[in-house]
Structure 1
Amino acid sequence: MKLKWILVGVLAAVFMAVGGFQAVFTVSDTPEITTVRGTQVDTELKCYHNPTPQALDDEGRLNVLVWNVYKQNRENLLSELTERSQDRQLVLLQEASLDDQFLDWLQRSEWGSNQVSAFKAFDVSSGVLNLSRAMPKVACANLQVEPWLQLPKSGLYAEYALSNGQTLIALNLHSVNFTIGTLEYKQQLESFKQVLESHTGPLLIAGDFNSWSESRMAVLKQALKDYQIQEVKFTPDNRKRFVTGLPLDHIFYRGMTLKAMSTPKSDASDHNPMLQSSY
């Protein structure tokens, strides 16, 4: 009899946990991309298309900021993001939450933005987000489900026109984290392989890769080796590191000449931002 009530209690706890999870989190079956340009907010399935793209770079110069912003959980995030991004043409954010405060900031800024909704928590979407001075030709959403948490991590593939007639492909990625082995990690990295292999122009792959183990670093390097791509080496290097000493955030590039890079310390997030300037 006692065992029966123990089992009933366990089942009740499981149902409550599942019900609580479903009450908080919403995950779409099809990837969604939300575009904000001024006061206009549009949500589309999978991809955003722009028939009249303008050049992203500033007379050949491209300044980029890459930052995991910790869902804007710290009060000084938006003020520091404003300061850090003022001389940038492209900003790649991870863990960006499209809450009322951030949406208001976006709509009052000169940025255009595309966000992948990895999931919604209390109806607020969270995922990777690109800020750009010129909207991309194409921006497409990608999701990879975390096998333990069953919440997706997101990736954003975007094509930007450049002033020299070329097209920059920018891949903003937040890699899966809680896995046994590297299968899902590898699947997410290789889900973009076909479009990246066929591109011969400039390429930027950046974000929070959750590269906390040697095996993950090996998979990451193997996935990128066919793209003739280089990694930005930061000196000094203030990127967030796991207890193994390995950095979680990276910027990889091709078809550009690197001019400057830095990882300034910040208390506005649990990650420090990465800045890159190139021609």
Structure 2
Amino acid sequence: MKKAILLSIPLAIAVTAVIGYQTVFTLPDSAQVTSLSDGKAQLSLQCYRKESVNAIDDNGRLNLLVWNIYKQNRAQWQAQLSDLASDKQLVLLQEASMTEELKLWIAEQGWFGSQVDAFKAFETTAGVLNLSHDSPTKACAYTELEPWLRLPKSALYALYPLSNSSNLAVVNIHAVNFTYGTQEYQRQLDTLVDELLEHQGPIIVAGDFNSWSEERLSVMKQALKKVGVTEVHYQPDHRTQFITGLPLDHVFYRGLVLETAEAPESDASDHNPLLVRFRLENKDI
């Protein structure tokens, strides 16, 4: 009798864990993107498209904020996000949790949002989020399942028109993290690189790459080498590092002129933000 009771304990724990997981997390059947404008959300399938969109840059300037916002878990997130985003034309967030507070902030600031619905936690979607002053002409969602946690990491491929008549391709990525090897990491990057190889104009690839090992850094750089991008370097460089001393967040670019880049310290997330200023090639300012 005691043996039967002891044997039933692990089963009960496993069943409880599964029920708890299913109660907290909901996964979509496929990658999908939600567009947010004027406080309203529009759900697409994998891709969203729109014609007649204004240029994303400001007279040839393109100021960028990249930040893993840690699901807005710290009290200072809204004030610091407002300050950091105030002069930006493009904001790329990772670990954005689409709470009512974030929806209200997006509407009040007049942003257009494109979010990948990677999963829902207590009915609140989470995933990478692009913010711009007008819609992209195209935004496509991609997810890769974490093999251990069984939760998807997300990426967004988006196209934005520029005032010099070219189109900017932007990849916002939150890379898979908890893996034994680099197979899933490689697959996630290769899928996005395949999209970028079809694009002839300027490119930005940015986000939280979870590049905490030399193996991951090598996979990341070899994959992105195929599209001819250059990595941004920062002054000062306070990018969040893993215990290995390797930074987790990166920005790569092609077909733009880099002016300044910095990674200041912040107490509003477990990652520090990246602030990068570009200008368009062949564009007098």
Answer whether TM exceeds 0.5 for this pair: yes
Paired letter, 1:231: E
* Cα distance in structure 2, aligned partners of 1:7 and 1:217: 44
1:55–1:163 Cα contact (<8 Å) kept? yes
Bigger Cα displacement from structure 2, 185-194 vs 87-96: 185-194
Residue 162 of structure 1: how far off its partner (Å): 0.4
* Cα distance in structure 2, aligned partners of 1:173 and 1:236: 23
* Cα distance in structure 1, aligned partners of 2:32 and 2:158: 14
Note the 1:218-257 alignment, pairs <5 A: 218-257=218-257
The residue matched to 2:30 in structure 1 has which SS?
coil
The residue matched to 1:257 in structure 2 has which SS?
strand
1:206–1:252 Cα contact (<8 Å) kept? yes
Residue 135 of structure 1: how far off its partner (Å): 1.1
The residue matched to 2:44 in structure 1 has which SS?
strand
Q: Give the structure 2 partner of residue 260 of structure 1.
A: 260
Residue 221 of structure 1: how far off its partner (Å): 0.7
Q: Give the structure 2 partner of residue 98 of structure 1.
A: 98
* Cα distance in structure 1, aligned partners of 2:194 and 2:224: 12
Residue 7 of structure 1: how far off its partner (Å): 1.6
1:193 aligns with 2:209: no
* Cα distance in structure 1, aligned partners of 2:40 and 2:54: 18
* Cα distance in structure 2, aligned partners of 1:116 and 1:143: 8
The residue matched to 1:159 in structure 2 has which SS?
strand
* Cα distance in structure 1, aligned partners of 2:23 and 2:237: 41
The residue matched to 2:226 in structure 1 has which SS?
helix
Residue 72 of structure 1: how far off its partner (Å): 0.3
Q: Give the structure 1 partner of residue 128 of structure 2.
A: 128
1:178 aligns with 2:166: no
2:201–2:255 Cα contact (<8 Å) kept? yes
Runs of at least 5 residues in structure 2 that lack an aligned partner in the other structure? 280-285
Deviations 1:51-105 (A, max 9, x none): 1111000111100000000000011101111111110000000000001111111
1:107 aligns with 2:107: yes
Residue 193 of structure 1: how far off its partner (Å): 2.4
* Cα distance in structure 1, aligned partners of 2:265 and 2:238: 7
* Cα distance in structure 1, aligned partners of 2:39 and 2:19: 35
Identity %: 50
1:158–1:169 Cα contact (<8 Å) kept? yes
* Cα distance in structure 1, aligned partners of 2:78 and 2:72: 7
Paired letter, 1:11: L
Q: Give the structure 1 partner of residue 57 of structure 2.
A: 57
Q: Give the structure 2 partner of residue 80 of structure 1.
A: 80
Q: Give the structure 1 partner of residue 2 of structure 2.
A: 2
The residue matched to 1:104 in structure 2 has which SS?
helix
* Cα distance in structure 1, aligned partners of 2:205 and 2:115: 16
The count of corresponding residues between Structure 1 and Structure 2 is: 279
2:69–2:96 Cα contact (<8 Å) kept? yes
Deviations 1:26-63 (A, max 9, x none): 00011121111113211111111111111000111100
* Cα distance in structure 2, aligned partners of 1:216 and 1:195: 21
Bigger Cα displacement from structure 2, 176-185 vs 25-34: 25-34
1:47 aligns with 2:41: no
TM-score between both structures, scaled by the size of structure 1: 0.98
* Cα distance in structure 2, aligned partners of 1:105 and 1:175: 26
Paired letter, 2:43: T
2:196–2:227 Cα contact (<8 Å) kept? yes
1:38–1:109 Cα contact (<8 Å) kept? no
Q: Give the structure 2 partner of residue 150 of structure 1.
A: 150
1:270 aligns with 2:283: no
Deviations 1:140-189 (A, max 9, x none): 10000000010000000000000011000000000000000000000000
Runs of at least 5 residues in structure 1 that lack an aligned partner in the other structure? none
TM-score between both structures, scaled by the size of structure 2: 0.96
* Cα distance in structure 1, aligned partners of 2:135 and 2:101: 22
Residue 128 of structure 1: how far off its partner (Å): 0.2
* Cα distance in structure 2, aligned partners of 1:38 and 1:257: 32
